[in-house]
Amino acid sequence: MKKAISAILMFSCIAFASAAAKDIVISTPGTALVLNAEEGMPLKFCYYGDFTTLSGMKQLRAAGDAIDKNAYPSFGTGNLALPALAVTHNDGNITTDLIVTGVSSTEEAGSVLTVISTKDKVYPLYVDMCYRAYKDTDVIEMWTVIRHTEKKPVVMDRFDSGCLYFRRGDVWVSHLDGEWAAETSIVTEPLKAGMLTVRSYDGARNGQMSHGEIMVSLDGKPRENEGRAVGAALCWSGDYELRVNTDDNRTHSLYAGICAEPVGYVLDPHMDFETPHLAVSYSNEGIGGVSRNFHRYARGTRMHNGSACRDILLNSWEGVYFNINQEGMDGMMSDIASMGGELFVMDDGWFGRKYPRNDDTSSLGDWVVDMRKLPDGIDGLLASARKYGIKFGIWLEPEAISPASELFEKHPDWALKATKRDYNYGRGGTQLLLDLTNPAVQDCIVNMVDTLLTSYPEIAYIKWDANGAVRNFGSPYLKADKQGNMFVDYHRGLESVMKRIRSKYPGIVIQACGGGGGRINYGVMPYFDEYWVSDNTDAYQRLFIQWGTSYFYPSNSLGQHVSAEKNHQTGRVIPLKFRFDVAMTGRLGMEIQPKDMSAEDKDFARKAIRDYKSIRPVVQLGNQYRLISPYEGKNVASMMYVTDDKSRAVFFAYKMEHYMFQQVPRFMAAGLDAGRNYRIRELTVPEGEKPSGLDGAVISGAILMNTGFEVPLDREYASRVYELTAE
Ligand code: DGJ
């Protein structure tokens, strides 16, 4: 990446020069977004790519590289651009025509905020287009703030966060599709004439459908470390639509925003509506470069406590499911502590008095300990954790309510429901969602978490689950004319709840779980420390799922657990080493009944956890290089992590299916210092097995990256982990 002069200096240049040229350069260290903001005219998008300046932009124009398209097209201007904004004004007019009225810039800590104010030519409707450029990461956030002073509410049918344009050509898109237990499946396709749409309409857990992130490769098929690429992530936990339109113009246009279908959002006069931020990143180091930018942005800026390493934990779910009791929890804590783990998380099944939670049909909302299962309550569990020297965490599903609950008996009107309609039930044939638009419901959730954490300050971790989609399309709280606002206001309510919890409890680790990976999104990121990646813990299938999440999410945010030998979801039998080696590329954990493990397996787990601790900062905080994708069909997958100073790295390789005489490819490292020598140490070698010949070798970064090296992977589910230390 080319380095820019300091962003502050840059900006003063921009502010001075823009008065004449009207071009505004919004830049990060290696990238620039150029807009043209001439007063009285629509705001134009001109360029997004490698770093440039105002004079560089002149040359780009001369070379024919300026796009010059409406940066935020609205419906009804006559130029037939697909709208990013469509509003029905209170007199019934369905058109909007925005022109620039001013530009301002503000220095922030670590970023520069540029706001371009626009106004409808006729109506008192105002849209501020906001761009925040980071000084230490090649990421720009864009969003809009919409308000009006019309006499009555207006209805916003579409209100995207922003648009980007790419020169039409051999442009490919990768997006993450999926559903429960098959999350983040990568779909890669070339852009052809027409519209590619990525959409989630789950209502509550958008990651259960297509993800709100998209990767665009500008120079042909996606390559990991070469070629120009752009990534975009919509920071929103609700429904959205990302559209890439290819019409008869010479551009592909990307639009991203909340999806308001089937009804629009009703906006009262004088109210600011801020659209979710759309984070975009450009790299000339391929899609891997874009991923690394997003990882840096997530860790450094967006994610709660993003720069910290996470603990190694045992979660009780696949070990005991709903069968929670003090003795069982104590046994699991003893076992994980003896294997070197640092945290135990008691999952579902611990709560409910009048309605005990023995399966998924009841009790949600009654967050009181079931004393029949846990006679010493949470105190007893904390005493066990203290005895074994580990931390304790607990499962909650705060947004859900069961009809068989004391909460529902008291507040039946707190569940989402359409008037005059029966309930549609979710999980267990009973589950409903609380109406988070209602401030009383928000207070109830905040108070529940607050009471738990003030009563038991030793609780170190919450697994915040969300197992339900929105299936009841009405809010008993919202007024009749605002029922459609529920889709947005639910998530505003969730955000407000999380802000209140975080302001009092910044130190507690909170995992976002959405019935598997349904809550993996950039919207909830500021309030959560990590995500549960998937309820599918089959290590083979996790190679694919984790490959997909790594496109946008950093490794310290990804909960990856070692589960039973015979996998509970797929029945596949996989050796323990492979299961560990796959889980070790993210936040390592276990999801197993340790008492069913053999002494030999426990010994191996102890060794693997010890090894993981020695490389944890490299894996969790290092720069990720994906080397061979499981999607490539080579029956091999490989990736590595490298520290910023390139002094340490960890390399992972996996044999997937094994065919006799099928050649294992030569591995080429990436991200190392070509001029330094690296000593190789093999990790997670089972007792009695010999490390491979690479163990102890000293090889230059140049050879490792340019000539490559052989990794013995001689049977199905063979795997290797090498630590590389610069000498
Ligand atoms: C769904 C989660 O993804 C699982 O890990 C587990 O917590 C169950 N919910 C519990 O009901």
Q: pLDDT confidence of 264, banded at 50, 70, 90?
A: very high
Our CA angle for 139, 644, 616, nearest 5°, is 105
pLDDT digits (tens, 9 = 90+) for 309-340: 999 999 999 999 999 999 999 999 999 999 99
Contact 351 CB / ligand 1 (< 6 Å): no
pLDDT at residue number 224: 97
Residue type, 698: V
Contact 490 CB / ligand 1 (< 6 Å): no
Q: Separation of 513 CA from ligand 1 center, angstroms? A: 8
Q: Separation of 410 CA from ligand 1 center, angstroms? A: 26
pLDDT at 18 exceeding the cut of 50: no
Q: How far apart are CA 41 and CA 56, in angstroms?
A: 23
Q: Separation of 497 CA from ligand 1 center, angstroms? A: 21
Q: Which ligand 1 atom is nearest residue 516's CA?
A: 3
607 backbone dihedrals φ, ψ, rounded to 5°: -65, -45
Specify burial of residue 323 (Cβ count, 10 A radius: 0-12, 13-18, 19+): exposed
CB neighbours of residue 599 within 10 Å: 7
pLDDT digits (tens, 9 = 90+) for 396-421: 999 999 999 999 999 999 999 999 99
Extract the tokens encoding 218.
């500008």
Q: How far apart are CA 275 and CA 264, in angstroms?
A: 14
User: Kind of pairing, strands 213-217 and 172-177?
Assistant: antiparallel
What integer is the mean pLDDT of 29-41?
A: 97
What integer is the mean pLDDT of 157-185?
A: 97
pLDDT digits (tens, 9 = 90+) for 662-688: 899 999 999 999 999 999 999 999 999
Asked if the peptide bond before residue 686 counts as cis, ω within 30 degrees of 0, the response is no
Q: Which ligand 1 atom is nearest residue 315's CA?
A: 5
Share of the chain above pLDDT 70, in %: 97
**Number of Cα atoms under 13 Å in the Cβ half of residue 477:** 19
Q: Which of 519, 143, 163, 139 is nearest to 298 (CA)?
A: 139
363 phi-psi bin (left φ>0, alpha ψ -120 to 50, beta other):
left
pLDDT at residue number 17: 41
pLDDT digits (tens, 9 = 90+) for 54-71: 999 999 999 999 999 999
Would you say 31 and 140 are in contact if contact means Cβ atoms under 8 Å apart?
yes
**Number of Cα atoms under 13 Å in the Cβ half of residue 415:** 30
Q: Which of 562, 595, 580 is nearest to 333 (CA)?
A: 595
Contact 513 CB / ligand 1 (< 6 Å): yes
Write the CA distances from 4 to 31, 259, 429, integer angstroms: 9, 37, 57
CB neighbour list of residue 227: distance below 8 Å, 6 or more residues apart: 217, 218, 219, 220, 284, 286
Would you say 370 and 357 are in contact if contact means Cβ atoms under 8 Å apart?
yes
610 backbone dihedrals φ, ψ, rounded to 5°: -60, -45
Q: Which ligand 1 atom is nearest residue 591's CA?
A: 5
Write the CA distances from 182 to 549, 568, 689, integer angstroms: 11, 14, 34
Q: Separation of 433 CA from ligand 1 center, angstroms? A: 16
Q: Which ligand 1 atom is nearest residue 513's CA?
A: 3
Q: Separation of 465 CA from ligand 1 center, angstroms? A: 7
Extract the tokens encoding 429.
């044939």
Beta bridge partners of 700: 677
Q: Assign 3-state DSSP to the chain and report helix, strand, coil percentages, each to 5.
A: 25, 30, 45
pLDDT digits (tens, 9 = 90+) for 332-343: 999 999 999 999
pLDDT at residue number 249: 83
CB neighbours of residue 638 within 10 Å: 23
Torsion angle in degrees (nearest 10) through CA of 31, 33, 34, 38: -150
Q: How far apart are CA 513 and CA 530, in angstroms?
A: 9
Contact 514 CB / ligand 1 (< 6 Å): no
Contact 180 CB / ligand 1 (< 6 Å): no
Q: Which of 561, 616, 569, 549 is nearest to 592 (CA)?
A: 561
298 alpha-carbon distance from chain centroid: 9
Q: Separation of 563 CA from ligand 1 center, angstroms? A: 14
Contact 467 CB / ligand 1 (< 6 Å): yes
DSSP 10: H
- Give, for 18, the enclosing helix (H) or strand (E): helix 7-21
Specify burial of residue 361 (Cβ count, 10 A radius: 0-12, 13-18, 19+): middle
Extract the tokens encoding 44.
């134009």
**Can you tell me whether residue 444 is helix, strand or coil?**
helix
Q: pLDDT confidence of 21, banded at 50, 70, 90?
A: low
Q: What is the pTM of this model?
A: 0.96
**Number of Cα atoms under 13 Å in the Cβ half of residue 545:** 30
Among 532, 561, 568, 592, which is best to mutate for testing ligand 1, by the most ligand atoms less than 8 A from CB? Answer: 532
pLDDT at residue number 3: 35
pLDDT at residue number 8: 34
Our CA angle for 565, 571, 573, nearest 5°, is 40
Extract the tokens encoding 476.
């008993």
Would you say 114 and 18 are in contact if contact means Cβ atoms under 8 Å apart?
no
Sheet strands side by side (includes 623-628):
623-628, 636-642, 648-655, 719-726, 677-683, 698-700
pLDDT digits (tens, 9 = 90+) for 230-244: 999 999 999 999 999
Q: How far apart are CA 356 and CA 665, in angstroms?
A: 55
Q: How far apart are CA 488 and CA 428, in angstroms?
A: 26
Beta bridge partners of 652: 639, 721
Residue type, 6: S
Q: Which ligand 1 atom is nearest residue 321's CA?
A: 10
Would you say 613 and 679 are in contact if contact means Cβ atoms under 8 Å apart?
no
Torsion angle in degrees (nearest 10) through CA of 566, 572, 576, 578: -170
Contact 318 CB / ligand 1 (< 6 Å): no
- CA pseudo-torsion sign 112, 142, 187, 189: negative
Place of tokens 């191996």: 604
Place of tokens 């069961």: 402
Extract the tokens encoding 597.
């493990």
Contact 392 CB / ligand 1 (< 6 Å): no
- For the chain, give the mean pLDDT: 95
Contact 538 CB / ligand 1 (< 6 Å): no
pLDDT digits (tens, 9 = 90+) for 446-470: 999 999 999 999 999 999 999 999 9
pLDDT at residue number 5: 32
Least confident of 10-24, 102-116, 655-669: 10-24
Q: Which residues are catalytic?
A: 465, 535
Residue nearest to atom 9 of ligand 1 (CA): 515
Residue nearest to atom 10 of ligand 1 (CA): 348
Q: pLDDT confidence of 128, banded at 50, 70, 90?
A: very high
Q: Separation of 687 CA from ligand 1 center, angstroms? A: 34
Contact 532 CB / ligand 1 (< 6 Å): yes
Contact 515 CB / ligand 1 (< 6 Å): yes
Q: Which ligand 1 atom is nearest residue 514's CA?
A: 3
Would you say 629 and 605 are in contact if contact means Cβ atoms under 8 Å apart?
no
Q: Separation of 719 CA from ligand 1 center, angstroms? A: 29
Extract the tokens encoding 111.
């970023």
Write the CA distances from 627 to 547, 698, 723, integer angstroms: 11, 21, 16
